[in-house]
A and B are shown apart, each in its own frame.
Chain A
Amino acid sequence: MNASSTLLNYVVFLPMAFALLLLLLPGNEKGQIRFATLLGMLVNLVTGIWAFAAFKPGGPEFQLEYRLSWLSDLGISYHLGVDGLAVALVLLTAVLGPLVVLSSWRFVEERVKEFHVCLLILQTAMMGALCSLDVMLFYIFFEAMLIPMYFLIGVFGSEERQKAALKFFLYTLVGSLLMLLALLWVFFLSGPEGTRSFDYAALYNSLMDANREVSLCMQNNAHCSNLSATAAALLQWGPWMFGAFALAFAIKVPMFPVHTWLPDAHVQAPVAGSMVLAGVLLKMGTFGFWRYAMPLFPAQAWAYQNVLVALSLIGIVYGALMCLAQKDIKKLIAYSSVSHMGFCMLGMLTFQAEGTMGAAYQMLNHGVSTGALFLLFGMLYERRHLRNMADYGGIAKAMPIFTVFFIIITFSSIAVPGTNGFVGEFLVLLGTFKSNLPMWAGILATTGVIFGAAYMLWVVQRVFFGPVTQQANASLKDINFREFVTALPLVLLVFFMGLRPQPILEVLSPSVERYVARVHQARPNPEAKTLSPQREKEALWMHVSALPPPQPLHVQQVDDSQPLLANNQPGERP
């Protein structure tokens, strides 16, 4: 058994192992606890990089697969594997891990052990959700993320933390519980008794024919008369099921109008919580749309494309306008997340290669740049414990290095060419104009970019330049070595991803093509002037030649001779 087939297990569960180790340490050994957590995150980073390196862009869709029998009576198995997008997000999560620990090195002084255990468990849950190839396993990790995050906000946050934590928890729970029901429904539709499974590939394959029938029927009503039972049910109830999936993920993204939990959660969360929330948790929403909602219900995705696009556009513009009205810097960054995640959704909803690629890239960008914004503001907050812009001013004189970092990240956030943000937003806008969406959608999205530049530069101007309004700000210490080391990787990533996007785009592109091809199985009207396949191929960044039309996914067989409880090396059993 080679190492790469078990690699994802380590990616997912090593942080958990370190969390258990932490429980053994005495609670007052704060240094040891912090160091052990950092070590756990660094080991996780190594496994994450290893997984990213082991992923071959030209290979099969899901790689590093690992599957064991688990809860087979309920149709659930323990199945891990990553595609291009997932492995990129795994890398992002792994990179943010150690930085999160470093960022709270001095910030958290009470209940240090609980704090770090939460961080490590959260890391496991996030990695698990990204690596799951069994939909129910994904759901379990998706929900399990709530618990550590709830404690991070509720115990370690600022004054209104309990309310914010509760809001965050309940909001997400409502959506995901409805998704659970829809998932169960899909499960029962997927085949006769005894053949059903929650395995992603099996579920997708069993719905593929029915989805084709449904989309034919939705395009021209001629084919509606002799639908199979599954297709008929999908035609009748598909909008509800898609709606449940979309709601669950839209809350997580968050899309307008279910975004209201986000500003509260971000403002109240500690720096580490905000970083993880913005950096990774929000991506679970877009990732869920990408992996589950769209491919499982392509016909419904087309049918409701306009609604979702409208909500994304509202999110982009509304988020940006809200930013212009904020006094509280953390709240401003939170609303900027709403706006940026709107771009991700818009890109994915173009159902077209460039836009989708932009969305995928933007997911990573947002993790880097918004994570970095929260990190940097956290450093300022640690010094002054004030969140309002009016309380700062002229800080550039006192903290020059900090200012440089903040401005670089600002440039990334407003998509200045040469930074990572430019690549993502440019692709999204390009895709929007090239897609079947009306012209004004692209124009509206572009105004979002302009507003984005306005509010971020406004922040920079008011916080860093101008006269020093408060005496305390004049004597602030510039960032120390630890803080410098924490922020540096993200700043470097901004430039790396902005100037050399190829390595990442290469990993993402097969996933992008497959996503687009899957959604296009249910193109509502083939005669309409949408994209021709050639135009997709023309794109420069598509190294991988156009893939054949989507085939049924390869279902990895469970080897029943390898029981889960036997030992950790299934290969060794006689």
Chain B
Amino acid sequence: MSAFPSLAFSSMLLPAMPASTVSPPSFVQTLLPAAILAVTAMLLMLTEAFSVSKSRSYQAILAAGASAVAGFLAFQNTQLPAGFILNDRGVADGFSSWITLIACLAAGMSSLLALGFFRQRNAERGEFYALLLFAAAGMSLLAVSNELITLFVNLELMSVATYALAAFWRRGNRSVESAFKYFILGAFASAILIYGVALLYGATGTTQLNLLHTALPNALKTTPWLSWPGLILVLTGLSFKIAAVPLHMWTPDVYEGAPTPVTALMGAGIKAAAFVALVRVVLHVGDSSAVLLHILSFLAAITMVVGNLMAIAQRNVKRMLAYSSIAHAGYILIGVAALFTTSHWGNDVGVLSVTKVATPTIETLRPAALQGILFYLLSYAITVVGAFGVLAAIEKREDDGAADAWDLNRLSGLATRRPGWALAMALFMFSMGGIPSTIGFLGKLYLFKVGISAGLIGLSVLGVLASAAGMYYYLRVIVYMYMKPSPETEIGLRHWSTEFVLAVSAVAVILLGLLPGPLLDWLSQAALFIPN
């Protein structure tokens, strides 16, 4: 038992059962968070039909409350042993519960952001929050999928809700353009994914991931012309969802065009959910060939480099954060590649070679890598919600459709006009850049530690160099906020919900950056995956 007294708090929250009698969560326990989200979503749609009340603020609070309850239930599930549910079609492990938690966090925070945002625009609608919760339910269900068809359906549940969310604020062309682009490209990627699934089914006779694990190595030998294209197509579809270079083109446009609270959801929640899909698949297929490792390493490398370099060129803060989210996906891909380096020591592929640093076994490396991925996703979710929260706060109603709506100049002198917002934004920028004493640093430390112990030295070096380059554009935001004179124009209105989100994320960024003790304990105690 660790020394942190806060753990007393954690054990209070958890079911008090002796360790030996704790059984894996039942399917009810596992699906309950998603069910709560979905039921609340339907309720919200009904309020739109039946409620006569003029004020609709309660809708956002209801959505946030449902997310909080669902998140709490998911948190309780994180500490239970892992097991299969629903005839092995679903998997209830720590990883899925944590992703559900992150999804609920993202949904709750973005609905609070949306409260102030849409109130100022007189555009509060129940269906917005309903869609938001449906997307969160999709993420949660995606996280428990152990079967490619289920995975696909839940991915679509999440995506379709997000397409609609991106188009929700119909003023100006941008929102529509972005939603349309997102929809067309997303549908295309889904088609690729399902085509790949079909080919894999043809090659192995199963769509269930743990069965695929046993069948695939053989299939790669006997029917390479079927299984290889299937594998590549599945990876391509998933790479689109996590926005890995070269399938990242949609990200800046969609992030820019979508209403800012929705962008926050995309950065925090959709990213995490897309990664859970990728991790689920590669956990089961990754060992079968070293080629997959090299593909993932290569993807990680170009995603980090291109994401950061493109972000440097942006003056539009929303696009800049979009490219930065691509770069962050690249860092997380290091963790994904680290999941199965133990099977492929010493393949010489230049910079991306795997060097045997220590002698980690798969039993120690995989939990560490999954913890690293989860911690990074969590830290990024907290930070990105805050960063987009600041943007949502300074946005004005008249800005919609303006060409320079999110130009860096908008941030000029923020430190003198709104010191609190500027300080929070500075914290978020330092956290994204990975400067110590923020949660972002711990996330990077975790991931690079995993990268080094997995032997991905070249990739890690590339990663830190890319993140040093990335610091340039994060610092530029701070330069504008603190070192440029303030224009006379008024900036966005204050709303308690927005400020609440900013305060919570800013405090979390610092506090979890300095004292993450309980969080690390919870992560390391969770049974993150079921060994093959």
Q: Measuring CB to CB, which residues of chain A are less than 8 angstroms from any residue of chain B?
A: 69-74, 136, 139-141, 143-144, 146-147, 150-151, 154-155, 161-162, 165-166, 169-170, 173-174, 177-178, 180-181, 184-185, 187-189, 192-193, 229, 233, 237, 560-566
B517 touches A71 (CB 8 A): yes
B452 to chain A, nearest CB (A): 4
B482 touches A177 (CB 8 A): no
B345 to chain A, nearest CB (A): 13
Q: Does B445 contact A (CB under 8 A)?
A: yes
Using known A-B contacts A74-B449, A140-B436, A181-B460, determine if residue A162 contacts B479 with beta carbons closer than 8 Å: yes
8 Å CB contact of B435 from A146, A162, A184: A146
8 Å CB contact of B475 from A166, A177, A562, A563: A166
Q: Does B483 contact A (CB under 8 A)?
A: yes
**Whole-angstrom distance between the alpha carbons of A148 and B464 in the complex?**
22
| Inter-chain contacts of A70 with B (CB < 8 A) | 515, 517
8 Å CB contact of B452 from A144, A161, A169, A181: A181
Interface stretch, picked from B54-62, B199-207, B465-473, is: B465-473
Residue of B nearest to A191 (CB): B358
B365 to chain A, nearest CB (A): 10
**Whole-angstrom distance between the alpha carbons of A564 and B2 in the complex?**
11
| Inter-chain contacts of B479 with A (CB < 8 A) | 154, 162, 165-166
| Inter-chain contacts of B453 with A (CB < 8 A) | 184, 188
Using known A-B contacts A154-B482, A181-B448, determine if residue A174 contacts B468 with beta carbons closer than 8 Å: yes
A169 touches B357 (CB 8 A): no
| Inter-chain contacts of B464 with A (CB < 8 A) | 177-178, 180-181
| Inter-chain contacts of B475 with A (CB < 8 A) | 150, 166, 169-170
Q: Does B516 contact A (CB under 8 A)?
A: yes
Q: How many residues of B contact A (CB 8 A)?
A: 43
4 closest A-B pairs by CB: A177-B464, A140-B436, A188-B358, A563-B3
B263 to chain A, nearest CB (A): 27
B520 touches A74 (CB 8 A): yes
Chain A interface, >50% SS class: helix
**Whole-angstrom distance between the alpha carbons of A188 and B448 in the complex?**
12
Q: Does B446 contact A (CB under 8 A)?
A: yes
| Inter-chain contacts of B442 with A (CB < 8 A) | 74
29 A-B contacts (beta carbon < 8 Å): A70-B515, A71-B517, A74-B446, A74-B449, A140-B436, A140-B437, A140-B441, A143-B436, A144-B436, A154-B479, A154-B482, A161-B483, A166-B475, A170-B472, A177-B467, A178-B461, A180-B445, A181-B448, A181-B457, A181-B464, A185-B357, A193-B360, A193-B364, A229-B359, A237-B355, A562-B3, A563-B5, A564-B3, A565-B5
Q: Does B4 contact A (CB under 8 A)?
A: yes
B511 to chain A, nearest CB (A): 12
Using known A-B contacts A73-B521, A154-B479, A161-B483, determine if residue A565 contacts B515 with beta carbons closer than 8 Å: yes
A564 touches B468 (CB 8 A): no
Q: Does B524 contact A (CB under 8 A)?
A: yes
B2 touches A147 (CB 8 A): no
A122 to chain B, nearest CB (A): 13
- Mark contacts of B346-371 with chain A using CB atoms, 8 A cut-off: 1 yes-contact digit, 0 otherwise: 00000000010111100010000000
**Whole-angstrom distance between the alpha carbons of A146 and B475 in the complex?**
12
Residue of A nearest to B520 (CB): A73
| Inter-chain contacts of A192 with B (CB < 8 A) | 359
B357 touches A189 (CB 8 A): yes
B414 to chain A, nearest CB (A): 13
Residue of A nearest to B469 (CB): A170
Using known A-B contacts A143-B436, A184-B452, determine if residue A173 contacts B517 with beta carbons closer than 8 Å: no
- Mark contacts of B274-307 with chain A using CB atoms, 8 A cut-off: 1 yes-contact digit, 0 otherwise: 0000000000000000000000000000000000
8 Å CB contact of A181 from B3, B5, B461, B520: B461
Q: Does B134 contact A (CB under 8 A)?
A: no
Beyond A74-B446, A170-B475: 20 further Cβ-contacts under 8 Å? A69-B3, A73-B521, A74-B520, A139-B436, A141-B436, A154-B483, A161-B483, A169-B475, A170-B468, A180-B445, A181-B448, A184-B449, A184-B453, A185-B357, A188-B453, A563-B3, A563-B5, A564-B515, A565-B6, A565-B515
8 Å CB contact of A564 from B358, B360, B517: B517
| Inter-chain contacts of B524 with A (CB < 8 A) | 73
B464, B520, B521 pick with most chain A CB within 10 angstroms:
B464
8 Å CB contact of A143 from B435, B452, B457: B435
Q: Does B128 contact A (CB under 8 A)?
A: no
B483 touches A566 (CB 8 A): no
A74 touches B445 (CB 8 A): yes
**Whole-angstrom distance between the alpha carbons of A561 and B2 in the complex?**
10
